[in-house]
Amino acid sequence: MAVLDEVKKLCDQLKNRGWRDLLLRVTDGDLDIDQSSKTKLAEALAAPLQTIDRSVPGFEGFHRSANRGIDGGAPGRSLFYHALACPDVHPTADGMRPATPNQADYPTLKQLDDVENYIYSLVADRGDLDDTIVAVFAYQYRVASRTSHRRHADLAFSRTGVARVGTTGPNYDRSRRSFWVISPGGGDALPVLPTRYGAFLARRGNRSDGSVMGRLGAPGADTGEYIFPVHKLFSGRECIKGCNLTVEFAEFHRNEKLRRIHALPTSRGGITAPAGFDIDKLPFVRDSTNGGKLVKLKGAGATALVEPVPGDRLLRTVKQHNSVAQADQIVHFVVPSAQSSARFVTSSLHISSSSNGDRLAPEFINIRHEVDPTGPADQAPDDLNRLGSTAFARKLKDGGYAAAHFVDDSCDGCVEAIVNGLDRDIENQPAFSLVTAPDFMPLADQSEINEVGRFPLADPLTNGTLPPNTALPRPSMPTEFAFNHNDSTATAIVGNLAIGPQVGIIGNPNHAVSMLPDGASNIFAPGWDTSRSRDAQGESHFTSSGLGSPFPEDAKLCAALSSFWPAVAPDNSRTFGNEDFENKLPMLDEELGFHPKHERVAAGDVQSYHGWDGEFGPFFERVNGRLHVNHVPIERSDYVTHSIANRIRVSLTAEVQTEELVRRNQALRQCIKVIGSISSQPFCLVVFRAVDDWSAFGGGSPALTGSGYVLEFAECRPNVIATSELDRVRRAVQLHHICHYADNGVAYKRGSRRFQFIPH
């Protein structure tokens, strides 16, 4: 058996790297992967196990009634596969993940795929496949709390995958069993995050025919038709008895944000393209057939990886031959005046959605980088953020200048399996593929915050009921569409039926990054991972074309608008002085960055550095003896500028867990409650700092125990005072509030008064 040969090679490679000892320890000597032949290995893997010690770290969530190293057709019941694929299992003496894991001690993604193929090859003669279809799923093996049923570790599947763009190649961290957001050597380059897709024989059914993550209360969640995987497909004669299969994959992806800006009538917010540009060609439309360079399709055993093509930066200017000028020109547009077009916080062009929420063009467009249309096609735009306040405001209000278009590599598309050798004609269902912005908090999932944090607006994409982009062509037959209007369950996460008690969502830290829709946001206004639009028939669907142009323009506003969008994304509203915004999931001072004049920098406690978004966080400063809050005015913050300078980074927030975000929210709410009971004036959050141990830190009350946070708020005068820095302003503080938060209470100080302890 060819698939067994690969498993034997894997065991021989890993047996002396701790895996043999680990499996012997867990099974009390029953399962030994050090066998002299592949036949004996197959016997050892199939033999019933008398003992499985589920107290060993990483095995707590293994299926309670499973008792074999390999159980045919059931990866979630196969102890050997669980050990290799579960991100919580490590071949160490204490079972814990090393601080610096040796990647060679863990299986590759291709080797995990080999084990899966072997598991399914053992049921190649199954007789329940007559009514199945071919379907492509994004999938990954998960701990119990992140599966569709939350009863034991298992494979989780979705017909939608979420890959993420970056500035360097992917980093598959074998110890995490997932791609990771930081490069192996560290640094602030952003690795792209691929998504893994596999082909399966699958069966249509209703919700009760399998397990479905969440979606309770979502329209059509109970009545919609789901597709559940049944049997994995791979090339060769061992997959299905009597068939010699070939399984290949094809993809089509498209980014048409620039075209949509100019195709939309001006009466509806669109912008007329300069004469001579062809908006139906590259780079206004970039796809898999015109050299758009959006994704690569790479093999990982019998599965495929959709891998975004990294760029030197998250965005860039582009050029096209202008037929009127008879020369290559930097792609640009003429900014309309504020009187004839909408603005958002005065410095972003805003295109409104239609009455039902469909976005026929990107919602926000950057207008702060001027170009000379007659200049070189590779010119560097003039950053208008360098203008003084009066000139800046007048320039953006009057318009009439040429602004650069920027392209990013976000897109949406489909992945199709080309399967030959089956014994019958069979329906073939592609998967929906989203390629979206970097995930700045990859270990905190949208679905976890939605349920545990009780944030109904933090809606995960798993709850989405719109169909995938119905205008996408099928890769193997471009004259056909890949998706239909009635597909309301493509973004669901599904799995096998399971019994037993459910585990809690939080309690153990996440190590693997989700590439499924539970780690992405559903449609918001604004959105982050996807948006909604409509096709030529007027039917609404998911697409990426309604996101900001470029997406960092959207990211700034999404992260700031946490007052109604408390999603799993950096909450940067206090960076902007909380002007018209409200914190929900506040970020630490260390994540927002320290200005050179920050009091902790001046005291020598920390070095000055930019935060996750290229900005500096807010801080208190004394000017002429009076306390002020120094912060960024949101209209002068430009994530495009920061992206060009490669100042956007994920390293400051990559390890934040859901439990931590929920605790931050609890601290914020409790402190706001305390202040609100005393003062009715608006106030902004200026300081948010973690404390490991109050007894060592020296809190405002000896009653404080354990860990917690320092929160400092300010009631400020409304008038904004300019500073010597164009991108910083200050406001005079009328009243300073300090809260020291612990799980047992809050020590509160108002102005110059003493701290008082208020128990929860």
Same domain, 89 and 112: yes
On the question of pLDDT at 638 being above 80, the answer is yes
pLDDT at 220: 66
Q: How far apart are CA 428 and CA 133, in angstroms?
A: 6
Q: How far lies 295's CA from each of 194, 413, 534, 546, 557, in Å?
A: 9, 10, 24, 20, 27
Across 270-284, 452-466, 561-575, least confident range = 561-575
On the question of pLDDT at 450 being above 80, the answer is no
pLDDT at 347: 79
Instruction: Decide if 747 contacts 704 (C-beta within 8 A).
Output: yes
Based on the structure, what is the number of domains in the chain? Answer: 3
DSSP class per residue in 594-636: E-TT-HHHHTTSS--EE-TTS----EEEEETTEEEEEE--GGG
Read off the tokens for 583: 């914190």
Q: What is the mean pLDDT of the chain?
A: 93
Tell me what percent of the residues of the chain surpass a pLDDT of 90. Answer: 80
Domain assignment of residue 596, yes or no: yes
pLDDT at 583: 67
Same domain, 649 and 532: no
506-558 pLDDT, tens digit each: 778 899 999 999 998 888 644 578 899 999 889 999 999 998 899 888 776 66
On the question of pLDDT at 679 being above 70, the answer is yes
229-250 pLDDT, tens digit each: 999 999 999 999 999 999 999 9
pLDDT at 557: 67
Domain assignment of residue 397, yes or no: no
Domain assignment of residue 347, yes or no: no
Cis peptide upstream of residue 101 (ω within 30 degrees of 0):
no
pLDDT at 564: 40
pLDDT at 526: 43
Kindly state the average pLDDT of the residues 297-308. 98
Domain assignment of residue 51, yes or no: yes
Same domain, 142 and 109: no
Same domain, 175 and 93: no
Q: Look at residues 123, 144, 159 and tell me which one is the last residue of a structural domain.
A: 123
Helix then strand then coil, in percent of the chain rounded to 5, is 20, 25, 50
Domain membership of residue 579 as a residue range? 572-759
pLDDT at 536: 87
Same domain, 614 and 477: no
On the question of pLDDT at 64 being above 70, the answer is yes
Domain assignment of residue 333, yes or no: no
On the question of pLDDT at 562 being above 60, the answer is no
Same domain, 110 and 154: no
Q: Look at residues 523, 541, 559 and tell me which one is the last residue of a structural domain.
A: 541
Confidence of residue 560 (pLDDT cuts 50, 70, 90): low
On the question of pLDDT at 83 being above 70, the answer is yes
Same domain, 598 and 697: yes
How far is CA 180 from its chain centroid?
11
Q: Look at residues 77, 96, 123 and tell me which one is the last residue of a structural domain.
A: 123
Kindly state the average pLDDT of the residues 597-606. 98
Q: How would you list the strands of the sheet with 364-366, edge to edge?
A: 342-344, 348-350, 364-366
Domain assignment of residue 336, yes or no: no
Same domain, 718 and 583: yes
Kindly state the average pLDDT of the residues 2-6. 96
Choice between 443 and 1, residue whose per-residue pLDDT is larger: 443
Kindly state the average pLDDT of the residues 50-69. 97
Torsion of CA 612, 618, 620, 626, to 10 degrees: 150
**What is the length of the chain?**
760
Q: How far apart are CA 555 and CA 586, in angstroms?
A: 16
Confidence of residue 216 (pLDDT cuts 50, 70, 90): confident
Same domain, 77 and 206: no
Same domain, 115 and 134: no
Instruction: Decide if 476 contacts 569 (C-beta within 8 A).
Output: no
Same domain, 183 and 264: yes
Domain assignment of residue 395, yes or no: no
Domain assignment of residue 327, yes or no: no
Kindly state the average pLDDT of the residues 96-108. 96
On the question of pLDDT at 449 being above 80, the answer is no
pLDDT at 224: 82
What is the residue whose two structure tokens read 């994959």?
A: 249
Q: Output the CA torsion sign for 68, 72, 74, 80.
A: positive
- Under the phi-then-psi rule, with left for phi > 0, alpha for psi from -120 to 50, and beta for the rest, what region is 510? beta
Same domain, 598 and 684: yes
